[in-house]
């Protein structure tokens, strides 16, 4: 390579219901990056799962659709297959220094893409395979939290097989162990896709069917009444936490897809106005959740501050949180004193740092 410039491959799109969000994120991140400092290689994953690796982005993008690469826009980068485990030595030389997977949801945030980069032995931003996959599955994630004594809502896992073979038993169990109102969600999703609130048993079957459109496993949770607060964590070993932010959803019953992405449907209050004791508990829960899930790089930890006792009840951890310039995670860091551009650079450095540590592992016993 001719200069000290680092090559960063940015991955976006993907076979996920959050495809559109990923494109917005990529547009925002690429345009914030210092192109004097980084060579940015776009890798577009079409909705059908096909990958198109483009050539270096040399100037700011003017509009988002420039990211929708066509076959004829690929240069030698694609032909050389640096993305394949069977890459030739020449292609391996063309591999980027680090990959930034700007993918949300299944096939991106869930350890699958991370597994590919482990196999290719390329550095990447964010959590590894186990943290990403457990963090994506709301049931496994909550099992880990409960094993670590971190408080969350009561929950019940419902595999499709159980529902189809004996729905009345599931309905009875919800009544006995969860109660109403409750939340019904696909176990592996995001952006509130497939999530419903059930006020009574009458709503349950339709809510479960809706959630099964998006996954083969559903989670049913007790409803927590309280404030919704989110906090950012970055680091590999020594962790930093951001200021907390609160979400106010206005007229919506909960923080649904529209409230998340439609202008004016919800308000972010940063920093959240929390008593010192609650904030300290939140920071502690956020760091413990990060460690419990074996995460690295970044995460946004989402909690409820329960009405009545003001305890921090953990909802979920997102290993690749919304990352446009106007998303909660970057805004939290901006209020903490780290700009969007600096945050991107910090995450790239953390990805490379983690990769270097892993290179010390021996894969032969006789070395
Ligand atoms: N147990 C719960 N009690 C109260 N509200 C909930 C609960 N679970 C989810 N919600 C509401 O639904 C939203 C989306 O749920 P969440 O589990 O965070 O899914 P996603 O991964 O799609 O963001 C939350 O932000 C919150 O508004
Ligand atoms: Mg959420």
Residue scoring higher pLDDT (235 or 362): 235
Ligand at shortest distance from the CA of 221: 1
pLDDT score for 1: 46
pLDDT above 90 covers a percentage of the chain that reads 75
Q: What is the CATH number of domain 225-356?
A: 3.30.470.20
Residue 233 has pLDDT above 70, yes or no: yes
What is the DSSP code string of 41-83?
EEEEE-TTS-EEE-PPB-S--SSGGGGS--GGG--HHHHTTTT
> Which residue's structure tokens are 């993008």?
61
Q: Coil, strand, or helix at residue 315?
A: strand
77 CB-near residues (< 8 Å, 6+ apart): 41, 53, 54, 55, 94
What count of other Cβ atoms lies within 10 Å of the Cβ of residue 61? 16
Domain spans of the chain, in order of start: 6-124, 153-222, 225-356
Rounded to an integer, what distance in angstroms lies between the CA atom of residue 56 and that of residue 68? 14
What H or E segment, with its residue span, contains residue 159?
strand 155-159
**pLDDT score of 359 more than 90:** no
3-state class (DSSP) for residue 10: strand
Region 6-124: CATH code: 3.40.50.20
Cβ 192 under 6 angstroms from ligand 1: yes
Task: Give mean pLDDT, residues 244-261.
Answer: 87
Q: Tell me the whole-structure pTM to 2 decimals.
A: 0.94
From 17, 195, 227, the mutation candidate for ligand 1 (largest count of ligand atoms within 8 A of CB) is 195
For the stretch 61-84, pLDDT in tens is 999 999 998 876 554 444 457 787
215 lines ligand 1 (CB under 6 A): no
Q: Ligand 1: does its nearest atom lie under 6 Å from the Cβ of 194?
A: no
Mutation probe of ligand 1 site: the residue of 194, 196, 210, 254 with most atoms within 8 A of C-beta? 254
Task: Answer yes or no: same fold for 153-222 and 225-356.
Answer: no
**pLDDT(302) > 70:** yes
Identify the residue with better confidence: 48 or 142.
142
Task: Tell me the ligand closest to 300's alpha carbon.
Answer: 2
Q: Is residue 5 a contact partner of residue 38, using CB atoms and an 8 Å limit?
A: yes
| Residue whose structure tokens are 């909960």 | 254
Taking residues 282-306, what's their average pLDDT? 98
> Which residues does 359 contact at the CB level (< 8 Å), separation at least 6?
none
Distance between CA 188 and CA 205 in Å, rounded? 19
3 state SS for 93-158: HCCCCEEEECCCCCCCCCCHHHHHHHHHCCEECCCCHHHHHHHHCHHHHHHHHHHCCCCCCCEEEE
Q: Which residues, other chains included, contact 110 with Cβ-Cβ below 8 Å and sequence gap of 6+?
A: 132, 133, 136, 137, 188
- For position 3, what pLDDT does the model report? 56
131-152 pLDDT, tens digit per residue, is 999 999 999 999 999 999 999 9
How confident is the model over 177-206, as pLDDT tens digits?
A: 999 999 999 998 778 889 999 999 999 999
Domain 153-222 has CATH 1.10.150.530: no
Between the CA of 37 and the centroid of ligand 2 the distance, in Å, is 34
């Amino acid at each position: 390579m001719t200069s000290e410039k680092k090559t960063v491959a940015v991955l976006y799109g993907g076979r996920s219901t959050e495809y559109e969000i990923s494109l917005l994120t990529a547009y925002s991140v690429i345009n914030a990056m210092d192109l004097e400092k980084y060579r940015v290689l776009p890798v577009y994953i079409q909705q059908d799962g096909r990958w198109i690796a483009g050539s270096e982005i040399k100037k700011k993008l003017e509009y988002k659709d420039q990211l929708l690469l066509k076959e004829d826009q690929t240069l030698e980068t694609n032909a050389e297959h640096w993305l394949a485990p069977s890459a030739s030595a020449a292609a391996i030389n063309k591999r980027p220094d680090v990959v930034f997977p700007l993918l949300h949801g299944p096939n991106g945030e869930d350890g699958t893409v991370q597994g590919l980069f482990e196999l290719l032995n390329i550095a990447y931003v964010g959590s590894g395979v186990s943290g990403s996959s457990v963090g994506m599955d709301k049931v496994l994630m909550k099992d880990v939290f409960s094993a670590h004594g971190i408080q969350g809502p009561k929950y019940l896992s419902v595999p499709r097989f159980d529902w189809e073979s004996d729905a009345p038993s599931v309905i009875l169990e919800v009544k006995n162990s969860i109660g109403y109102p409750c939340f019904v969600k696909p176990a592996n999703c995001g952006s509130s896709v497939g999530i419903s609130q059930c006020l009574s048993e009458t709503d349950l079957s339709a809510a479960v069917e809706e959630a099964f459109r998006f996954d083969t496993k559903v989670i049913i949770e007790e409803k927590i009444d309280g404030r919704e607060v989110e906090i950012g964590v970055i680091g590999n070993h020594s962790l930093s936490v951001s200021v907390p932010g609160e979400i106010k959803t206005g007229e919506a019953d909960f923080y649904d897809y529209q409230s998340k992405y439609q202008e004016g449907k919800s308000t972010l209050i940063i920093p959240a106005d929390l008593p010192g004791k609650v904030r300290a508990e939140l920071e502690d829960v956020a760091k413990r959740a990060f460690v419990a899930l074996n995460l690295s790089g970044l995460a946004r930890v989402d909690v409820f501050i329960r009405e009545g006792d003001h305890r921090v009840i953990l909802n979920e951890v997102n290993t690749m949180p919304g990352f446009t310039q106007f998303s909660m995670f970057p805004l939290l860091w901006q209020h903490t004193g780290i700009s969007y551009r600096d945050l991107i650079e910090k995450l790239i450095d953390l990805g490379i740092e983690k990769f270097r540590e892993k290179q010390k592992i021996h894969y032969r016993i006789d070395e």
